[in-house]
Structures are given as C-alpha cells and as structure tokens.
Structure 1
C-alpha cells in the first residue's frame, strides 16, 4: 500500500492549511518530516499539536491531536463542529488597535465556546508575529501587530480544515496521558514539544502558564523510549541543544537549518532544529 493510500481517503480529501501562525511551526520542515516518517502506520498521534503543520499536510483519516492549551483545543473543536458560526463572528472583527486590546482583555472563560474560538483566532492573526504567549497568570500578553490587512477570516481554508478535523479525535490533555491511553503498536507519533531554550531570551514559545522544564524534557525522553518498546514509530523535534543529543543518543539524530521569524534582527533569525527518528 502506498503512503498516499495509507494517509487519506482521496475521495474525501480536501487540502487544508494551518489556521494559525505559530512560532516554531513546522511548515518549513515538512519535506524533511515526510522523508523520515513511516510509509505505513495505524493511527497518527500528535499530542503537542500547536499549529499542526504536519497534521494538516497529511490529513490522516485516523488521527488523535491533543494539547495542554485549552484555547487551542477549543478552537479546533469549534472548527470541526461549528465552523459556520465561527466564520460569522470572525467577519465582524476589526483590525484596529483599540479593538484588539479590548478583545485581548476579555477573560475567555466568560465567552461562549464559539466566541472564545473567534477570540483565539483573531488575536493570532492580528498580534505581533502570530505569537501565542501567556504570562504566569495564563493571560495572553502579545501586543498588537499593526499589520495593514491580516486575513482574520479565511473562510475557504476554515471549511477545508473543518472537513479534516471532523475525522479527528481532539483532546485537551497532557501529552503523557494521551500517549498512555491511545498509543498502540504500529502508530506514528509526532512530538513537537516546547523546545529547550538555546539562550536566555528564547522563552517566547510559552503558550500555557505551566513551563516545560529540563525535568519535563527528561520525562519526555523516557516516554519516547516506552513508545519504541511498545512498537510505535516516532519523530521528535527540538532545539540543537546538548541535552537533546544526550537524551536521544540511542536514536538517529539529524540537525537542520531553519529560520526564526521572531527576532527583530534579521541576522539572528537563523536556527537549528534537531530531528530524532525512532524506527521499528
């Protein structure tokens, strides 16, 4: 069976793109990821879904996506279940600085699920560099992006994304709980966790109020070993940090040049991502 046959039912397949701009998103690594993924697998599981670049590229018909970020998961559930209402709300939202800060200041827990999803997508499309960052109280704190004409409502893509997500199990949970409950032999697990910071100023990827510390990285490495032992295929990305090489030294590791769009200094927008490949 070919990779394409394994990944999608072509009669129902609609090409979808990520709906979010995502710092550290994997769009620029898609070719590398696809070259290294298994050609056959059972379920696709991505428990740090973020912007979901690989997930939307593959559009697998049997998939589980998850994240610990409640706003992100609510957005994906609403796109799957109620995309029409979401589109109507997004069409009413304005790319104006004062309006942006009013929307940002709203406690999302006071909103309906649809309005909460619209707020998340609106802030992502209009804030600086599409960052999703919260403070220690869990409040979104990225400033207005001052873009002339950001695409707040990409109706065509939202409908395509909705069709893909309807086939998907979407879970708000810690990655360990998801993998312990759902990972089985023959599954393909893609892990794109919060990266180990290379510098003191690189903690821009905090997108839940809980941070991902060194001990969390070590626990993740142990989980990768467990997944291998039960017969899963695993790809993992992280920064090119000595700890990553130490934690995954028993597996195939490759280093890839990538661009970082966050730094205001163009010469510092280059980075290196590590890809860890766990084969059966």
Structure 2
C-alpha cells in the first residue's frame, strides 16, 4: 500500500454536488494544511457533502455515513452519473415553472420513500443547505429563495467529482464501523454533528460525542492519525465552546475562521448577523 504525499498539494473542486450546511468546501485548503505529509488510506466516517474527500481525492479512500440515501447518491455518482444528471435536469425545469410546488412535492416523496437522487435535489433547493430532520427522520427544511445550480454547471461538477472519488469506497454504516476499518498509517478526518450548534441537523439527535472520543482513542492506540473538526468559538470569537475531552487524547488544537453562521442566519430569519462569526476547532492526535 503506497503513501499519499503532499509535495504537490491539494486542489479543491470547482463546485459542490450537494449544497449542505456545515460543508467544509470553503475551508478545505486551511484544514488540509494540517494534514500529515504522508499517510496510507484516507478515511471519513461522517461523509456528508464530501468537500474534504473531493479535495483530497485519495488514491484509496473509505467514506461512511449513517444516512442511507446519502450513501446511495454517492454510489450512483460513481456508477451511473448520468442518472443523477437526468434526475436533476428534470426537476430543474420544474423548479423554473413552480419552485415552491415542486419542492413540496419532492420533499413529500422523499419523506415517504427516502432516496439518494431526491435528497440531492432537496439539498440544492432547500433554504441555505440546512439539511434538517425531525426525530422521526423526516426532512423538514423549507424551500430556498435562490435559483438552483444550472444544468450545465451541475453536469460538469458531477463528472469532476466522479473522477476525484474514483479511489473511494462508500459504506452505509455507523462511524464506529467506519473507524474500525482504519489501520496503522491511515488518516481519519472526522466532521461530526457539532455539539452546540447542530442539534437540529440530520443524525445529531442520536449522536454521542463521548462515544466518538472513545473510538478516536482506539484509533490513536493503533497508530492511526485522527483530525477532528468540532465546535470552537462563536459570537465572533468572544465565546469559546467548552468540550469535555480526555487529557492527552489530542496533541494540538487550532481554530479556523468560518465567517457568519448560516445556521444562525436560518434561525434568525434574515436578521443582521453582526457578531455571529464562528470559528471551528481542529483537534489532532499527533
């Protein structure tokens, strides 16, 4: 198994397949700057919108998530990208004619029969990419006001991402199962639901941060390097989020400026966002 090298550096894709609150698309350069220069496989147990994965574009990668339709969509992108493009194209034209009605119909259909292509369309047309679910697992985000990505751009993005993800295998499974696959020399990047700010988002209701820390400790003991993105600072750096983390688990801590919180924008219904900038915390086990 060969090791990946950062001699050339990473390049971010030109656009995103999913529009997703919490995506690291804008900050991928900053985060990857803290990655080790060499490692074996790249592993993500909370794949979400996949921005970090597409930026790394690993020769050998593993990506997992507990949301089945999400993994379905990623597998379709790899195996039959034209299916996703055709699905998006059909609904794009419907959105132009009747955006709210089209969104409501797709949302109802998805909640009745969850599936990957509909989830993708919903994330691109819902409010701010806020992928919000009820405790019963129903997506509940209202429609957005923006115009969806053009068909031409979406097609180009899908094909670029297919090329970038060709070395990755996707799994519908828990983060524990994905991280258990990591071996000595691998790199794991964790971007779980945030403790203080993402309780309304998918999977957050059942997520246990302390359990994740236990699994990270197990990875570290096996010689796996782990990077964790988690709550850092809010209120433009004035308030640091307190985390209960075992002493010695992480060797380094850094903060990444993320600009104004889109989740707060959603919750405040368009009010002014002055003083609402957030900073993510990066924790590294080496």
Whether these two folds match at TM > 0.5 is yes
The reply on whether 1:186 has 2:185 as its aligned counterpart is yes
* Counterpart in the other structure of 2:66: 68
Match of 1:275 among 252, 277, 282: 282
SS in 2 for 1:271: strand
- Once the two structures are overlaid, the 10-residue window that deviates more, 38-47 or 224-233, is 224-233
* Counterpart in the other structure of 1:211: 206
CA root-mean-square deviation: 2.5
> So what's the TM-score if we normalise by structure 2?
0.83
SS in 1 for 2:39: coil
Measured in 2, the distance between the counterparts of 1:209 and 1:30 equals: 23
SS in 2 for 1:234: strand
Task: Indicate conservation of the 8 Å contact 1:228/1:234, yes or no.
Answer: yes
The reply on whether 1:233 has 2:260 as its aligned counterpart is no
Report how many residues are paired.
262
SS in 1 for 2:262: coil
- Pairing 1:1-280 to 2, within 5 Å after superposition: 3-4=5-6, 15=13, 17-93=15-91, 94-95=94-95, 96-107=99-110, 110=113, 116-147=115-146, 149-151=147-149, 153=151, 154-180=154-180, 182-197=181-196, 202-204=198-200, 206-208=201-203, 210-212=205-207, 216-240=208-232, 241-244=241-244, 250-259=250-259, 260-262=261-263, 263=265, 264-265=270-271, 266-279=273-286
> So what's the TM-score if we normalise by structure 1?
0.85
Task: Indicate conservation of the 8 Å contact 2:183/2:224, yes or no.
Answer: yes
* Counterpart in the other structure of 2:235: none
- Once the two structures are overlaid, the 10-residue window that deviates more, 236-245 or 218-227, is 236-245
